[in-house]
Structures are given as structure tokens and as C-alpha cells.
């Protein structure tokens, strides 16, 4: 399959990149690895007039640790994140999630964390060739008014299958979005619209510059299921964070449970997370209850559009959450 | 045992270096002067009447050289058999599946060709479609092919007689139904074809194929030109697995565009086209009813199978038979009745595939395990009690010559630690066995035999001509090894000219697992004839009788006095100087029952040899997620004789990946209204290298008297038995016999829950 025609530019400073975005905005797309973008372009799902490659923008590849946060440049390769001691120590969930993305070669040569967070939502009725999508009505995400994944649905039910975003939401990360002459920081939990067509609350002129992970002295874990051990998107996944109570070390002071690959965005489960507060780190019953709650909440969003059966994926939400909680609780970080 | 110099050695394949270094040229790499890009317009509807096709806008686009539709094909139809010619290369009246060919263009570049496709205006009238064989048989809507009532395309009936009588004598009878969906090949190389007509109006074609002579005949028929004017050329091929044996509509369309434009044309399939627009393996619903005596010996069996054949016949009669034949060869069945129905649906066309009928075979083996459990018999013992023995006839009356089925079962069981593990593994650990048998050849009529020609060059090297094609399994290396062995040369002295219909004689192709047995044997016979001529000349030089001579390492020498020798090169030169030919031909025609026919007469000698294989798999199942971890695999096959154990082990391992790890755990298609939702490598879950378990290969050599050096089919019995072993191991681990394949985590989990 052929790529549609486009102009290509590779700015070597952030300033130049932001100038280009300011000028071309809607017509441009950021190329940060290409494993998601180029495949969609080949399928004719989008045809940006300009690609702004971050290949030469070395300034956005870094992992810095200061007193209360780890800062990761959005262009940092997945391999660098996996190899990072600070990430392994303070953000185990992210380290594990990055190990699951693509395959070793993709992690080394192509995949970036920013690219993983900003990969478009997926649906096996949408991520198809122009031929496949012909001879039937267009779906919501394809400019039409129908959803093949959920009958009668008035909106797009595409699924966010980013591993990185789930881990980062569990870690309560913040995203730094830059545009010409402006910069804003947003909690990743607030970064998502509820629209499967345009899932990110981000302006076309904005660039994801940095990911900030607060250092909380907490344990985190990430669990996912897929069909094979590499080159596979998750069909269900969970990221969790457990922080000990400042007073009582064996008690959970704060919990964050996030479920992924089940909805238009990663789902932060506020109620199930809050219910773990005050529970013991060894309270497996509480973990199971949280898992079941997560399953019930997530199931209402999920549709059959990324493989496996819907029933199986829903059932596995509980299992992934429980496993992640057990892993975090047992990680000795508490 | 005979000592060989090159046969039986672990010689790296002659084609490996070029392939791993990226130097091998595949069809898509070909670039010819003035070559155009061809593209095919396919139906986006599963079942639709074609009202009109307007190509005027496409033809007006600058850069477009030709647009062809069904009107340009003169109505030619394709089918493997005279009675199955149901597929036009470009449809004129209606489209029968999403992907059916309706028009094609040739243009100066790909972008223009694509634009032109979009400009072809096809008006359809949608018709009700059916996607399931049972629904298709019951359907009261318009038939997919008017001449096939109930959409039943093929019915194969095999009946040995006495079935009901023997059921009446049985100690225990059970009947179970098993299902498996269609599967895809995912050859590494997507389909591509280049065609051109030369100045003498000869058609030259390059494409991945399972046999060049099987492509040239239908093209000769379709274009009404003599066979010598159709030149299928040799080209590196990235896999076939049965899916590239027949002519592909793209071959005809590409040639038609080349004819219309007077330029070479190349059509390259996308991965999606390769998945939906070539062939797939059949989905099957199979019911096995089996009656056994007290010792578990099968007295009677009745098997009924409904296969989803998709939109056209393809190799229908063969595909409807092979799953049954593989099992009747592997196991004695007592009396048996088989009814196989191949049913048309509005889905992609199903054809031959390496793992014919995973659901069929796995069902038969699963049921044997069920019966064994009921009778308190160990599954290994159950197989030994029913396994095929040498000298027996199969249910359809094929004499089985060499057969080391029992040895494969025993050796695999020993290596896998069966006795220590069966019934003694911890919860959710399981071990399972599968056994299978595959034909070395089918009755193929006029194209059943192969001929080879060998000529010597004055430097003492030899050029070997053979119609055998290599589509990945190592056939070219096999021919080189055989020729070098027989002629007393080194592999680097053999120059192969193969798989080219202009320069090579008729050959069955790498079809029905017959390349080594027939094509290899033809080369062996040609080389033996050459050698006899060389020895005649050498006997005069050495002044000894010809029958005292031997050849090895480029020397011809007296067997009992190796010091007395002459270089082979010198013998060739002496022969040329004295106007003596040392070139020779040789051929091989398998002795099969030519009256045997798939539908009208499915009895008689099928082929001259059968392979037998056993695979044992050990797994661990995660009871909370249903995920399977394969701990160990033992693959053991009676291959007659391993001509090259290195190549053979690679074939075994590929078979485990295709039949077992992928075929039984992760690979299946998702559909919506006849639309395939996972046609790409990302979404169709082929296993990766890192998914594969440790594999222990055991080669058993029964030395087939009719095969070259004793060789017969190699590795297909592993592909088939691996599927069965995977299914059995998972069933053993969870304590539930699985009846729906592949055994994906959702099904495993549901089975565990249901058991609780």
C-alpha cells in the first residue's frame, strides 16, 4: 500500500517545530516513530499535507530525575525508558508497559513514549483499507453516522490501546503541551475527551513536549493480556499505584487503579481506588473486590472491536487489576 | 546401510545465503523495461448482481493504458477439474464474495492505477448473502451458483460397507461434533505476478507457484495458445503451503493486460488481497461417531463433515477428501462411512492448505482420548492399538508400504517422558499426543510424473534440468544433493535449471508432497543414466569393466582399487572429443490407480508412500486467564529417509508453528457480513519466534523401498499431528475435552468455569 503524498520537514529545535505547527496546524501531523501514523496513512485513514518529523529534535529525548519528579522528553525511545534506573525504581508500571510495546526492534529504533501516548484509538471496523471500508456506510470515525462495534450507537466507540498511557495515568503523570509562545501542563487523566473520533484534548498547534511523573515513594505495576508476546496491542490491561499511609506503613494511604484497552481512553476508577484507602497491603479480598468493581465499571464502556471476545476481555479486567495490585503490594516498595 | 557422500548430510541449503543476505529476487523485485502497474478492482459486496461497469472515466485518465472487464475474457472459466469450472477470472454476471475480481487496470504507475480503479463505476444490485455452510444449505435465497442446489458444491461419499453391522458389535460407541473456523496461510511473500508477451507472441510469467506446469496449462487454454508459448519462469518464492498451486485470477488478468498493452505488467497484492483474494483453509463442522471393542480397537466409524468452501470450487473435491484420508491412513478404522459436503458461501475461496482440517483431525484424536478414558486406557496405548501397520490396506484400498507409525509413537512418548507424566502432572498442567499420516502424492493423471535432463559441460560440471519448484521447503537443494550424490560431483558443481516451463519437462509441482518422491527420483534416474555413460567412457580409459567403477568427489575410480582412478572432468572431455554423449534423461512415474477419482471413485492406490508422524505437547494453563504456556514439544516423523536432517528439522519446526502454536492457539479470522476484519499480519495472530516452545525433533527412517534413497513425504505429518497434540494437551490440562478449535483463552476459561 502506498503512502499518500505529503511534505516532510525535520526541525532540529523545539522552536522551529512549534513555528511549523503554528503555521500548518490542522494540515500537519507529528511523526515520532511512525508505527501508528504511517500505517494509518497507508490505509487512507488520514492524509496530512505535512509531516513534521521529530527525528532531528534530539532535545526532546531525555530522562531527568529531580527531587519530586521524573521528566521524560516525549521523543525518548522506549528502549531508553526501559533501561532507565530511575523509571524502574520510581515508575515500575511504566517500565513494564514500555517493555510490552511492539517488539525489541521497535523499542530501539522507532517507538517513542510520546508516540505511544498519542497513538490514535483503534477499532477493527475502522483500521482497515479503503477497499475494506467501501461497499458499506462510513462509521463515525470515518466521517459517517454509524458504529459497527455497537449497534445504534450515536458515537464512536474506538478503543485506546496505548500501554504507556495506562501506566502513566496510574502514576498520576502530567503532560507538558507546548505551542508557539505557550506551554501548559495537564494531568493525563484530564487529557482525554470522551470522543472516540478525536480522543485527545489537544490543539492541532500543540506538541507533546514532556511527561512528568511525580515521585511519590509508591509502588506501581502494570499487567496486560494480548494474543502473542510481541507486536500485539493489549486486549485488556491495568496499571495501579499503591502508596503507603504516612502514619501506618502497612496500610494503603492512596491507591490509583486504571484500566486500559476497554474504552475510548484509559479509565481511572475513582471509586474502586478510593475504597482501597485504609486497607492493608495484604488484604487480597479488598483487591478482589476492587477488581470486580473495576470489571463492572469498565464493562459498560467496552465493545467488541479489538479481538478476543467481549465477555473474555471484561472478565479479564478483574484479573488484571487484582494481579497488578498484588504485584504492587508485594513489590517491597511499601 | 548404504553409505552416501552427500545424501543424509546436514548441508546448508544452496539458496540460504542469497535469501538471508537479501540478494534473492522475488516477483515483486522484478523490473522490466516499459513495465506497467496492474491493479484489480474487487467487489465490495458479498453477493451482488453486476448491472453495469463503466470504465470511460478511468480510460480517460492520463497514464492509464488499459482497463479490462469480464467482457474481455471471452467467458473463460477456471476450475481444477472439468466438472468444477465455476470461476470466471473477471466476473460478468455477479460477484460472490468481498474481493471477487470485477475489473482491472494497467497504468504507468501505482498511484495512477489506484486512481483509475476508483474511477471505474460499477453498478451492483445487492443480493442476500450467506456466510455459514449450514445456513447456506438451508437458504431459500438466490443460489450462489445456479447449477448447485442447496449450495452444495461437492459431496464425497466413502463407504467400506458393514458399518452398521460393526456398530452393532461395538462394546462402546460415542458421537461428538467438532468445529474449527477457516485459516489463512500468511506466506511471507504476498502474491505478485509479472507477465509479458514477447515478439513471438509467447507469454512469459513470473509468480510464486506450487508448480509451473500447473500454471502454464490453464493459461494456454485460456489464451488459446500452444503450451510451448507459455513460459512460466523460475523466481524465488516466499511460501505457498498449498495456496499457490492453482492458477490465480491475477495470473490471467496480468497476462490479459500485458496482451492489451503490449507491455510487461506487474500486479502486486497487498497483504489484505493475499488474505482474502487468494485461498484460505476450509472451516469445518465434523461429527465423528466411533464404535470400539473392549480393548479400544475401532470397529466402525461414521464421519460427516460440512466444509465452508467459500465462493468457488477451487480444489474442492480434493480438499473435501484429504482430512478424511489423512486419518484413515494414520488409524485403522474397521468399517467406515464418510460423507464430506463442501458448501458454497459468500466468503473467500477455500483451497488446499498444509494443515488440512484442524478441527477434523483434532476431533478424531480427541474422541479417541475420550474413549480411552472411558475404557481406562492410556492415550499412547490407545493409539498403538489402532495405529496403521506396514503391509495393510487403508479403508479406501491403498496398500501401505513402509510404515513406522508405532516407532514414532514410542519414540515421541519416551522423549516426552509420557509414562512419568501422564496422569501425574500438577493441576492445569497437561500432556497430549496427536498422530497423523500424509500422502506422498495424489493420482494426477497426465501431470503425475516428472522428467529430468542432465547435460555435462566441458569443465566437468553438470547442468540439471527439472520441473520441480522450490517455494521455501528446500526443493532446489534437494535436487542438487541428489544429482551431486549420484554423479559423484560436489554440490557446487551442479547447476540447476528448474521450474521453468520452457526448458523443463512436465512435473507435478510441489503439490501433494511429491517433489522429492517424483521430481527428485526423476533427477536421480537421469543422473544414474549419465553415470552409466560416463562409466562406459571411463572403463575404456582405465581398462576395467564399467560395472567395477564408482564415482565420488569428482573422481571415477575402481571400487576395489580406488588408487586406480580418473578425474570425472577428464572423462567428460574424452567423451566430447570422441563424439560420445554423456548427457542423459530420466524420469519417474508413480504407480498409482489412475481410475481413482475424488468423487466418482474414491478407492484404489492413492500414492506409493505415506508418511507417519507423532507430536507430543506439554502445556501449562493459567486457570484465571486461560492463557496457555507450551512447555515442551516433541515432534517425531517417519520420513522414510532424511536426505538432509538440517533442512528437515527446519520443516518440522515450521510445522509446529503453523499447525500447533498458531493453528491451535491463536489463529482465526474475525468477520462481519463476509468482511474479514483481520486480514493483516498485525491482526491475524501468527506466532512469532519468541512465542515458540522448545522443540525436540526425532527423525525416524523406515527406508521406503519406492522412494529416492528411501525418502517420502517429510514434515506435513508434523503440521497435522501438532494441531492434534496441542488440542489434547490443553484438554488434559483443564480436564475438559475441547470441541471447538483453535483453543483460545476465552474458550479455555469458559470450559474451566463450566466444569466448576
DSSP code string of A92-160: HHHHHHHHHSS-HHHHHHT-BHHHHHTPPPB-TTTSS-HHHHTTSPPBGGGTSSB-SSSTT-SS---B-
B44 with A136: Cβ contact below 8 A: yes
CATH 3.30.365.10 fits B283-443+596-755, yes or no: yes
Taking CB atoms and an 8 Å cutoff, what residues of chain A touch B679? Answer: 132
What confidence tier does A285 reach under pLDDT thresholds 50, 70, 90? Answer: very high
Q: Is B536 a residue whose pLDDT tops 70?
A: yes
- Taking the CA of residue B613 and the nearest CA in chain A, the distance in Å comes to 27
* pLDDT at A332 (0 to 100): 63
Enumerate residues 6+ apart whose C-beta is below 8 A from B199.
Answer: none
Give the pLDDT confidence of A293-316 residue by residue, as tens digits: 999 999 999 999 999 999 999 999
Q: Which residues contact A22 (CB under 8 A, 6 or more apart)?
A: A179, A180, A205
Q: How does residue B75 score in pLDDT terms, banded at 50, 70 and 90?
A: confident
CATH topology of domain B27-127+188-239+244-276: Aldehyde Oxidoreductase; domain 3 (3.90.1170)
Classified by CATH at the fold level, domain A61-118+159-329 comes out as: 3.30.465
Give the start-to-end residue ranges of the domains of chain B.
Answer: 27-127+188-239+244-276, 283-443+596-755, 444-588
Q: Is the pLDDT of residue A245 over 70?
A: yes
A225 touches chain B (CB under 8 A): yes
**Sequence ranges of chain A with CATH classification 3.30.43.10:** 1-56
Percent share of chain B, pLDDT over 90 = 96
Nearest chain B residue to A4 by CA: give it.
B111
- Give the model's pLDDT for residue A109: 84
Contacts of B625 in chain A (CB under 8 A): 225, 316, 319
B746–A308: do the CB atoms touch at under 8 Å? Answer: yes
B579 CB burial (10 A radius; 0-12, 13-18, 19+): exposed
**Beta carbons of A125 and B666 less than 8 Å apart:** no
Best residue of A225, A228, A308, A327 to probe chain B, by most B CBs closer than 10 Å? A228
Return the CATH fold of A1-56: 3.30.43
* Band (B2; pLDDT cuts 50, 70, 90): confident
- Mean residue pLDDT of chain A comes to 96
- Considering only residues A243 and A249, tell me which one the structure prediction assigns the higher pLDDT: A243
For chain B, the residues whose C-beta falls within 8 A of a C-beta of chain A are 42-45, 98, 110-111, 114, 270, 272, 624-627, 666, 670, 672-673, 675-679, 682-683, 685-688, 690-691, 744-746, 749
Domain with CATH 3.30.465.10 in chain A: 61-118+159-329
Arithmetic mean of pLDDT over chain B: 97
Nearest-by-CA chain B residue for A127: B677
CA distances from A225 to A36, A229, A238, A319, B169 (A): 20, 9, 9, 10, 50
Write down the pLDDT at residue A281.
96
CB-nearest to B746 from A103, A135, A311 is A311
Reported confidence tier of residue B356, pLDDT bands at 50, 70, 90: confident
- In this chain, the answer to whether the domains covering B283-443+596-755 and B444-588 adopt an identical fold is yes
Find which of A128, A149, A159, A314 to mutate to test the B interface (most B CBs within 10 Å of its CB): A128
Chain A residues whose beta carbon lies within 8 Å of the beta carbon of residue B744: 308
Unique residue bearing C-alpha cell 465452508: B308
Residues of B in contact with A136 (CB under 8 A): 44, 673, 675
How confident is the model at residue A331, as a pLDDT? 85
From B675, B744, B749, residue closest to A132, measured CB to CB: B675
- The fraction of chain B above a pLDDT of 70, given in percent, is 100
Percentage with pLDDT > 70 across chain A:
99
Residue A334 has pLDDT above 60, yes or no: no
CB contact under 8 A, B746 and A312: yes
Min Cα distance B267 → chain A (Å) is 12
Which chain B residue has the Cα nearest residue A308?
Answer: B746
Asked whether the bond before B431 is cis by omega within 30 degrees of 0, the reply is: no
- pLDDT at residue B354, as a whole number: 87
Question: Are the Cβ atoms of B685 and A227 closer than 8 angstroms?
Answer: yes
Residue A129: list chain B partners with CB under 8 A. 270, 272
pLDDT given for residue A333 in this prediction: 59
Closest-approach residue (CA) in chain A for B118:
A131
Inter-chain touch B625–A319, beta carbons under 8 Å: yes
Asked whether A255 and A243 are in contact (CB, 8 A), the reply is yes
pLDDT digits (tens, 9 = 90+) for B472-502: 999 999 999 999 999 999 999 999 999 999 9
Q: Do the chains contact at A129 and B270, CB–CB below 8 Å?
A: yes
A to B CB pairs, distance under 8 Å: 68
Query: How far from B742 is each of B134, B370, B663, CA to CA, in Å?
Result: 20, 19, 7
Does residue A136 belong to the interface with chain B, where contact is any CB pair within 8 Å?
yes
CA distance A143 to A161: 21
CATH of B444-588, one of 3.30.365.10, 1.10.390.10, 3.20.10.10, 3.40.190.10: 3.30.365.10
- A151 touches B: beta carbon within 8 Å: no
Strands (E) across B578-639 are located at 584-588, 610-621, 628-638
User: For the CA atoms of chain A, what is the radius of gyration?
Assistant: 20
Amino acid at each position: 500500500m502506498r503512502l499518500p503524498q505529503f511534505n516532510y520537514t525535520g526541525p532540529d529545535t523545539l522552536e522551529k517545530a512549534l513555528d511549523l505547527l503554528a503555521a500548518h496546524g490542522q494540515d500537519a501531523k507529528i511523526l515520532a516513530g511512525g508505527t501508528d501514523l504511517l500505517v494509518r496513512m497507508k490505509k487512507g485513514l488520514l492524509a496530512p499535507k505535512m509531516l513534521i518529523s521529530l527525528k532531528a529534535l534530539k532535545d526532546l529525548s531525555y530522562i531527568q530525575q529531580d527531587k519530586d519528579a521524573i521528566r521524560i522528553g516525549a521523543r525518548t525511545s522506549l528502549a531508553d525508558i526501559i533501561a532507565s534506573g530511575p523509571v524502574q525504581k520510581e515508575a515500575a508500571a511504566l517500565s513494564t508497559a514500555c517493555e510490552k510495546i511492539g517488539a525489541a526492534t521497535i523499542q530501539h529504533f522507532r517507538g517513542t513514549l510520546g508516540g505511544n501516548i498519542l497513538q490514535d484509538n483503534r477499532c477493527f471496523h475502522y483500521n482497515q483499507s479503503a477497499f475494506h471500508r467501501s461497499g458499506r456506510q462510513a462509521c463515525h470515525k470515518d466521517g459517517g453516522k454509524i458504529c459497527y462495534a455497537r449497534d445504534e450507537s450515536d458515537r464512536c466507540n474506538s478503543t485506546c490501546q496505548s500501554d504507556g498511557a495506562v501506566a502513566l495515568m496510574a502514576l498520576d503523570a502530567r503532560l507538558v503541551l507546548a505551542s508557539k509562545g505557550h506551554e501548559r501542563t495537564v494531568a493525563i487523566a484530564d487529557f482525554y475527551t470522551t470522543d472516540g473520533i478525536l480522543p485527545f484534548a489537544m490543539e492541532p498547534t500543540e506538541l507533546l513536549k514532556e511527561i512528568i511523573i511525580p515521585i511519590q515513594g509508591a509502588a506501581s505495576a502494570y499487567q496486560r493480556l494480548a494474543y502473542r508476546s510481541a507486536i500485539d496491542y493489549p486486549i485488556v490491561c491495568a496499571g495501579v499505584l499503591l502508596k503507603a499511609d504516612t502514619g501506618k506503613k502497612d496500610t494503603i494511604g492512596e491507591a490509583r487503579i486504571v484500566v486500559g484497552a476497554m474504552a475510548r481512553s484509559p479509565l481511572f476508577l475513582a471509586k474502586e481506588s478510593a475504597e482501597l484507602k485504609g486497607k492493608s497491603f495484604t488484604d487480597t479480598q479488598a483487591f478482589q473486590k476492587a477488581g470486580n468493581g473495576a470489571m463492572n465499571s469498565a464493562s459498560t464502556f467496552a465493545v467488541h472491536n479489538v479481538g478476543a471476545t467481549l465477555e473474555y476481555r471484561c472478565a479479564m479486567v478483574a484479573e488484571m487489576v487484582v494481579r497488578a495490585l498484588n504485584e504492587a503490594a508485594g513489590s517491597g516498595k511499601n | 546401510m548404504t553409505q552416501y557422500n552427500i545424501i543424509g548430510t546436514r548441508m546448508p541449503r544452496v539458496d540460504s545465503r542469497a535469501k538471508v543476505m537479501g540478494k534473492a529476487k522475488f516477483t515483486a523485485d522484478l523490473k522490466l523495461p516499459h513495465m506497467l502497474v496492474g491493479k484489480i478492482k474487487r467487489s465490495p459486496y458479498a453477493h451482488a448482481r453486476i448491472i453495469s461497469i463503466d470504465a470511460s472515466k478511468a480510460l480517460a485518465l492520463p497514464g492509464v493504458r488499459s482497463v479490462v472487464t469480464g467482457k474481455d475474457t471471452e467467458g473463460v472459466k477456471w476450475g481444477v477439474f472439468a466438472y468444477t469450472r465455476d470461476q470466471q477470472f473477471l466476473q460478468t454476471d455477479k460477484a460472490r464474495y468481498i474481493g471477487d475480481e470485477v475489473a482491472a487496470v494497467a497504468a504507468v504507475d501505482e498511484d495512477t492505477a489506484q486512481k483509475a480503479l476508483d474511477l471505474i463505476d460499477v453498478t451492483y444490485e445487492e443480493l442476500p448473502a450467506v456466510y455459514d455452510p449450514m445456513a447456506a444449505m438451508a437458504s431459500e435465497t438466490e443460489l450462489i451458483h445456479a447449477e448447485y442446489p442447496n449450495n452444495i458444491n461437492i459431496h464425497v461419499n466413502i463407504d467400506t460397507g458393514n458399518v452398521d453391522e460393526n456398530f452393532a458389535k461395538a462394546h462402546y460407541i460415542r458421537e461428538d461434533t467438532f468445529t474449527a473456523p477457516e485459516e489463512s496461510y500468511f506466506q511471507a511473500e504476498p502474491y505478485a505476478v509479472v507477465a509479458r508477451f514477447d515478439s513471438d507472441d509467447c507469454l512469459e510469467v513470473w509468480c510464486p507457484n506450487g508448480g509451473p506446469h500447473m500454471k502454464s496449462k490453464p493459461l494456454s487454454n485460456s489464451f488459446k495458445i500452444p503450451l510451448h508459448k507459455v513460459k512460466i519462469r523460475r523466481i524465488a518464492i516466499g511460501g505457498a503451503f498449498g495456496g499457490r498451486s492453482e492458477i490465480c485470477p491475477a495470473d490471467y488478468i496480468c497476462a490479459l493486460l500485458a496482451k492489451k498493452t503490449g507491455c510487461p505488467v506487474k500486479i502486486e497484492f497487498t497483504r489484505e488481497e493475499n488474505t482474502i483474494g487468494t485461498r484460505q483453509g476450509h472451516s469445518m463442522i465434523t461429527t465423528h461417531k466411533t464404535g470400539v471393542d473392549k480393548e479400544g480397537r475401532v470397529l466402525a466409524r461414521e464421519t460427516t463433515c460440512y466444509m465452508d468452501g467459500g465462493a468457488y470450487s477451487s480444489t474442492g473435491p480434493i480438499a473435501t477428501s484429504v482430512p478424511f484420508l489423512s486419518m484413515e491412513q494414520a488409524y485403522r478404522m474397521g468399517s467406515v462411512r464418510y460423507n464430506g459436503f463442501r458448501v458454497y458461501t459468500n466468503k473467500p475461496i477455500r483451497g488446499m492448505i498444509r494443515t488440512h482440517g484442524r478441527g477434523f483431525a483434532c476431533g478424531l484424536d480427541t474422541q479417541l482420548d475420550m474413549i480411552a478414558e472411558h475404557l481406562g486406557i492410556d492415550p499412547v496405548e490407545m493409539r498403538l492399538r489402532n495405529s496403521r501397520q506396514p503391509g495393510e490396506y487403508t479403508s479406501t484400498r491403498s496398500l501401505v508400504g513402509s510404515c513406522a507409525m508405532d516407532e514414532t509413537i514410542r519414540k515421541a512418548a519416551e522423549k516426552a517422558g509420557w509414562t512419568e507424566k501422564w496422569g501425574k502432572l500438577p493441576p492445569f498442567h497437561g500432556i497430549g499426543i496427536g498422530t497423523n499420516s500424509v500422502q506422498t502424492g495424489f493420482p494426477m493423471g497426465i501431470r503425475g510424473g516428472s522428467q529430468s535432463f542432465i547435460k555435462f559441460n566441458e569443465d566437468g560440471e553438470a547442468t540439471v534440468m527439472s520441473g520441480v519448484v522450490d517455494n521455501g521447503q528446500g526443493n532446489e537443494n534437494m535436487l542438487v544433493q541428489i544429482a551431486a550424490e549420484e554423479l559423484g560431483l560436489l554440490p557446487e558443481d551442479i547447476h540447476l535449471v528448474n521450474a521453468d516451463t520452457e526448458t523443463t519437462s512436465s512435473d507435478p509441482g510441489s503439490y501433494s508432497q511429491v517433489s522429492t518422491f517424483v521430481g527428485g527420483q526423476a533427477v536421480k534416474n537421469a543422473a544414474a543414466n549419465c553415470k552409466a555413460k560416463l562409466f562406459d567412457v571411463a572403463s575404456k580409459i582405465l581398462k576395467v569393466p564399467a560395472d567395477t567403477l564408482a564415482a565420488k568427489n569428482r573422481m571415477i575410480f575402481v571400487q576395489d582399487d580406488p588408487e586406480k582412478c580418473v578425474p570425472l572432468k577428464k572423462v567428460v572431455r574424452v567423451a566430447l572429443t570422441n563424439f560420445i554423449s554423456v548427457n542423459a534423461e530420466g524420469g519417474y512415474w508413480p504407480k498409482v490407480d489412475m481410475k481413482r477419482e475424488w468423487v466418482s471413485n474414491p478407492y484404489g492406490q492413492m500414492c506409493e508412500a505415506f508418511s507417519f508422524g507423532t507430536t507430543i505437547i506439554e502445556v501449562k494453563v493459567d486457570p484465571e486467564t486461560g492463557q496457555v504456556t507450551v512447555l515442551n514439544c516433541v515432534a517425531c516423523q517417519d520420513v522414510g529417509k532424511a536426505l538432509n536432517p538440517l533442512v528437515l528439522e527446519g520443516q518440522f519446526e515450521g510445522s509446529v508453528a503453523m499447525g500447533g502454536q498458531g493453528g491451535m492457539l491463536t489463529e482465526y479470522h474475525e468477520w462481519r457480513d463476509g468482511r474479514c476484519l483481520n486480514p493483516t499480519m498485525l491482526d491475524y495472530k501468527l506466532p512469532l519466534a519468541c512465542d515458540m516452545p522448545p522443540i525436540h525433533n526425532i527423525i525416524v527412517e523406515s527406508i521406503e523401498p519406492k522412494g529416492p534413497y528411501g525418502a517420502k513425504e517429510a514434515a506435513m505429518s508434523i503440521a497435522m499431528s501438532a494441531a492434534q497434540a496441542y488440542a489434547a494437551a490443553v484438554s488434559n490440562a483443564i480436564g475438559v475435552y475441547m470441541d471447538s478449535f483453535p483453543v483460545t483463552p476465552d474458550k479455555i476459561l469458559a470450559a474451566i468455569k463450566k466444569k466448576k
